[in-house]
Amino acid sequence: MLDPSGAVVSAATVTAKNLDTGFTRTSISSATGRYDFFSLPLGTYEVRAGKAGFSEEIRTAISLVVGQDAVVDLHLRVGAASEQVTVTGNAASVNASTQDISGLVGERQIKDLPLNGRSYDLLLTLNPGVVNFTSQKTGGIGVSNSTTGNNFSVSGNRPQQNIFLLNGVEFTGAAENNMQPGGSSQQLLGIDGVREFNLLRDSYDATYGKHPGGQVVIVTQSGTNGFHGSAFEFLPNNALDAPNFF
């Protein structure tokens, strides 16, 4: 956080507000002008910064996605405390970590893209280097080479080497070697229950580990201050499938 001369502004009060839920969190800038908010829920945020002798700065429409470590620089101008400087629009935030967010599949893609089934994990193949070979899996239910869910290879790794994190908690299947989770219908989670997910592959940092394959970071849909819902009709009839090459 800087003033017009480029000097750091310490002891300024910074508030981040989630525009969907009204959730707020407050931080104080340090002697180096730095402020931090840890583990913020994803969503669209408004950030306010103020200090005596400076006009308040407001940054709106800051979109925070799953797995992102964003940096938002603020500049306080000398002025009365009652004055406000509002910056609208989704200001470009800097991803300061080595964490890869290129595998993000957002809410609009999950809700709008057509799927042969309502399991969100079918959208993993939107990312390069991901192969769905569910039809090739072998073994009966309950043996070590089986899973009731879909199978995906990420960057050439076996499905057993993927790990799923649901709201930060490890989410595994019922097979002996903890393969990819799924229910008896081969559905993982319905698309109405997932807000967005991020597939980390190849370049994720030491924050993630245990398995060398894909790290699938899932965030479930949460409530907001507005009323919303959805309705659908699901007809899983193979008469609607395209014929194979035979």
> In the predicted model, what is the mean pLDDT of residues 166-188?
72
Q: Mean pLDDT of all residues in the chain?
A: 81
Contacts of 191 (CB under 8 A, 6+ apart): 110, 111, 115, 118, 119, 120
Q: pLDDT (tens digit, 9 = 90+) per residue, 66-98?
A: 877 888 888 898 876 567 777 775 545 545 444
227 versus 10: which is more confidently predicted? Answer: 10
> In the predicted model, what is the mean pLDDT of residues 142-155?
72
Residue with tokens 């089934």: 117
Q: State percent of the chain over pLDDT 70.
A: 84
Collapsing DSSP to helix, strand or coil, 107 comes out as helix
Contact, 164 vs 180, CB < 8 A? yes
Residue 186 is encoded by which pair of tokens?
A: 């081969």
Domain 104-240, CATH: 2.170.130.10
CA atoms within 13 A on the CB side of 28: 4
Enumerate the domain spans of the chain.
Answer: 13-95, 104-240
